Structure formats: structure tokens, C-alpha cells
């Protein structure tokens, strides 16, 4: 289940990350329109009053016209309070659906105008990293976590070191299949990286986000990679509760190797490099 997401046009990496992850969560149904805006009988992340108060007259009218059948001149002159009442009535009376409001509220405009921490709260509200017994939900959640990791890397919010060290070498040994471990170890041996960044980039080149979400529990990835990223970029103003992994450490770890030299390479490659202070705070 791979969704094509239009790339954000926003200037900052953290903005593009939020916009694209936001769209993906809705397109893959990790989140629903009714989770975004309040409708009768259900409280969501944003009220109509908050949305309308955050927008200029042009953007308010862009939503009001199709959702309430309001004349453009009237919609443009509506103040935030009256616009919110009109939109709420249209939603409660099913004149429009939350999805209709979102269709006329560009994702980049949502990131530019709505509160960043509230948007992040919307993204994490489904707790998509929590284990589920429903196969379709598991597939969907893995796909979303893969997308979050890849967009984080693309926009610079994550580096290979954030991902590999965040997941942890112990977890990689515990959860990855031997064949994948061997390929990563051989890649490190062939590349002979000189720095931690080069070392972790080689690892992530083999153990890609797609492979990580397939084998490593999502709650472990969330706690070790996503939560620190959110804190670095001020998507939260205090540490989130760490997600607790449900997996128990393996009593014994083995790596398929053909010689003692391969075992030494494996141990050297899996030794976590010294940590440095996190970079890239949100501008």
C-alpha cells in the first residue's frame, strides 16, 4: 500500500515534513477527517472556531464557499466568529463533510496557519505504532511509519545516525534476519567507513526504512527515533511518554558467518559509536 504524495512547497524542512506526513496519514486512513475538525457528537483536534480564527479572509472564503454554498462576496466579508458558526452548522447538518473542508484547505496552508504542536497531536492521535492483531491495520501502520522515516530523512529532520542509533544495535541484532544482518555487515566491511555518519549511512543503505518497519516493532522505532525527532523540532514542548516495546530481549544472538574474521567485523560494526548532541532544531 504505497500512496503517491505531492511534495510540499514550503521552505523549511520541518514544514514540508509535517505537510507530507499529514497528507499521508489521511490518505492511508491512519487518521480520518472527523479526527481533524469537530462534528456533531465528536470532538476532534481542531474546532471550526480555531480553524477560522487562524485564517485570513481569502482562505476562510475558500473553505466557506463550497462547504456552505455561500456567495463568494459574503464569504470573503465573514469575520472569523461568524465563519466558524456557518461552517459548524454545515458540518453538523451534513451539508458538507470534514473531508470536504479539508479538500478546500491546502495541506501547506494547514501547516502555515495552524498550531504546530496541535498538528503533531493530530498526527500521533491514532497511536499507529501500537501493536494490533488486525493484519490490514498492521500493514497500514508499517507503511505509515516507513513514510514518516523516509520523509524525515528527505527533509533533514532525521539523519542515518538518528535512525540507526535511535533503533539501537541491540535491537537490530535481535530483530533483523541473519541474511539482512550479513548483508549490512558485508557492506560496512566493503565500504570501510571512517566516521560514525558514514558508518550509519552504510547500514541504512542496506537496512532501509522499509526493512526496519518489517522487522523491528513499531513502538520501538517510535520511542527511539520519532519521539526524539519531535522533541528536537519542538513539535512537543515536553518529552512524550516513551512507547514501551512489547518484545523481550533474545537470550542469545547469532550471526551467520563463515570465519572468525567475519564475527570480528560483525561485532565492530554493531558497536554503537559515541553519541553527540542532537542537531537541527526547528527554525
pLDDT in tens, 14-57: 999 999 999 999 999 999 999 999 999 899 999 999 999 999 99
Q: Give me the residues of the chain with pLDDT under 70, please.
A: 1-4, 238-283
Nine cell digits for residue 223: 520511542
Closest listed residue to residue 52, CA positions, set 85, 97, 15: 85
Closest listed residue to residue 76, CA positions, set 101, 51, 59, 100: 59
Supply φ then ψ for residue 39, to 5 degrees: -130, 165
Residues composing the chain: 283
Distance CA 121, CA 22 (A): 11
- Residue tagged 550471526 (cell numbers): 255
Nine cell digits for residue 105: 484547505
280 SS3 class: coil
Distance CA 212, CA 206 (A): 10
pLDDT at 273: 53
Distance CA 149, CA 160 (A): 10
Given a contact cutoff of 8 angstroms between Cβ atoms, the answer to whether 146 and 213 are in contact is yes
Given a contact cutoff of 8 angstroms between Cβ atoms, the answer to whether 68 and 52 are in contact is no
Burial 65-103 (b: 16+ CB within 10 A, else e): bebbebeeeebeebebeebbebbbebbeeeebbbebbbe
Distance CA 157, CA 180 (A): 26
pLDDT at 18: 98
* β-bridge mates for residue 46, sequence order: 37
46 SS3 class: strand
Name the strand (E) or helix (H) holding 175: helix 169-175
pLDDT at 265: 52
Distance CA 26, CA 112 (A): 18
Q: pLDDT digit string (tens) for 128-151?
A: 999 999 999 999 999 999 999 999
Nine cell digits for residue 258: 563463515
Amino acid at each position: 500500500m504505497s500512496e503517491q504524495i505531492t511534495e510540499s512547497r514550503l521552505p523549511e524542512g520541518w514544514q514540508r515534513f509535517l505537510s507530507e506526513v499529514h497528507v499521508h496519514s489521511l490518505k492511508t486512513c491512519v487518521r480520518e477527517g472527523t479526527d481533524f475538525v469537530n462534528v456533531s457528537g465528536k470532538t476532534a483536534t481542531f474546532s471550526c472556531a480555531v480553524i477560522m480564527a487562524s485564517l485570513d479572509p481569502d482562505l476562510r472564503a475558500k473553505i466557506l464557499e463550497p462547504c456552505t454554498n455561500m456567495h463568494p462576496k459574503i464569504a470573503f466579508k465573514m469575520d472569523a466568529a461568524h465563519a466558524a458558526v456557518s461552517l459548524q452548522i454545515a458540518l453538523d447538518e451534513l451539508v458538507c463533510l470534514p473531508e470536504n473542508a479539508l479538500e478546500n484547505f491546502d495541506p501547506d496552508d494547514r501547516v502555515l496557519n495552524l498550531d504546530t504542536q496541535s498538528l503533531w497531536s493530530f498526527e500521533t492521535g491514532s497511536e499507529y505504532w501500537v501493536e494490533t492483531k488486525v493484519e490490514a491495520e498492521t500493514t497500514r501502520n508499517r507503511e505509515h511509519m516507513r513514510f514518516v522515516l523516509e520523509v524525515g530523512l528527505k527533509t533533514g529532520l532525521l539523519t542515518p545516525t538518528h535512525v540507526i542509533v535511535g533503533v539501537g544495535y541491540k535491537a537490530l541484532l535481535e530483530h533483523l534476519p541473519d541474511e539482512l544482518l550479513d548483508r549490512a555487515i558485508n557492506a560496512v566491511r566493503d565500504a570501510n567507513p571512517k566516521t560514525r555518519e558514514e558508518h550509519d549511512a552504510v547500514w541504512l543503505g542496506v537496512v532501509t526504512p522499509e526493512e526496519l518497519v518489517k522487522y523491528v516493532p513499531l513502538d520501538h522505532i517510535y520511542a527511539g527515533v520519532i519521539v526524539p525527532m519531535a522533541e528536537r523540532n519542538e513539535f512537543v514542548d515536553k518529552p512524550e511518554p516513551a512507547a514501551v516495546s512489547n518484545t523481550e530481549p533474545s537470550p542469545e544472538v547469532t550471526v551467520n558467518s563463515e570465519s572468525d574474521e567475519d564475527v570480528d567485523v560483525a561485532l565492530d560494526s554493531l558497536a554503537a559509536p559515541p553519541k553527540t548532541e542532537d542537531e537541527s532544531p526547528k527554525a
